[in-house]
Amino acid sequence: MEFYVDGVLKYTDTTAPFEYYFDPCLLKEDEYMTISVKGYCSGAFINEDSVTVYVDCVLSYVTITYPQDGQTVSGRVVITVDASSDIDAVEFYIDGVLMKTDTRAPFSWGWNTKKSGDGLHTITVKGYAGGVFMDDDTITVIVSNSSIALLSWLILFLPMGIIIRKH
């Protein structure tokens, strides 16, 4: 079996399974290349096939930058995402439910944690380039809104209790 890249013989394998491993990014980047194979039996040409592919060597990524994994949050939290330059859409999920799709960098979404309830919640973001899924990131946060409500109550009414006791 002969392996060609853009018409140039790159490798010959005479033992099944016939394989050729290479890194296309070492040959071309952001261009099309044609990969071809030619099959032989006892030295006689039998058949050939080829495929043309686009080489994209950009490593696509999305990363949740805020909040941090394991962080305690409350109220309205702006979830922010860092993404590679090819990412053109980011989906935001809370506990597996799609909440928002943002198509403008920098990617972010304001989550009202009061609608999710206290406890552990997962935040997942999924990045897309040209409608094709590229990467995702998931963190877990602790929502604690009831402690904020208690603190607010104490701040509002504790001074009154102090004043009443003085009389």
The residue behind tokens 């979404």 is 109
pLDDT digits (tens, 9 = 90+) for 103-133: 999 999 999 999 999 999 999 999 999 999 9
- Host domain of residue 44: 2-55
Task: For residue 159, tell me if it sits in a domain.
Answer: no
User: What is the mean predicted confidence (pLDDT) over 55-75?
Assistant: 92
35 and 98 share one domain: no
Give φ, ψ of 84 to 5 degrees.
-65, 160
81 and 133 share one domain: yes
69 and 141 share one domain: yes
Of 24, 90, 98, residue with least CA distance to 60 = 90
The residue behind tokens 């206290």 is 118
35 and 90 share one domain: no
pLDDT of residue 164: 52
- The Cα 20–Cα 33 span in angstroms is 15
Q: 14: which DSSP letter?
A: -
67 and 141 share one domain: yes
Question: How many domains does one find in the chain?
Answer: 2
- State pTM to two decimals: 0.62
72 and 137 share one domain: yes
> Which of 31, 55, 79 marks a domain boundary?
55
Is the pLDDT at 75 greater than 60, yes or no?
yes
Residue-wise DSSP of 102-160: E-SSSEEEEEEGGGT-SEEEEEEEEEEETTEEEEEEEEEEEE--HHHHHHHHHHHHHHH
Task: For residue 165, tell me if it sits in a domain.
Answer: no
13 and 88 share one domain: no
- The Cα 125–Cα 107 span in angstroms is 10
29 falls in which pLDDT band (50, 70, 90)?
A: confident
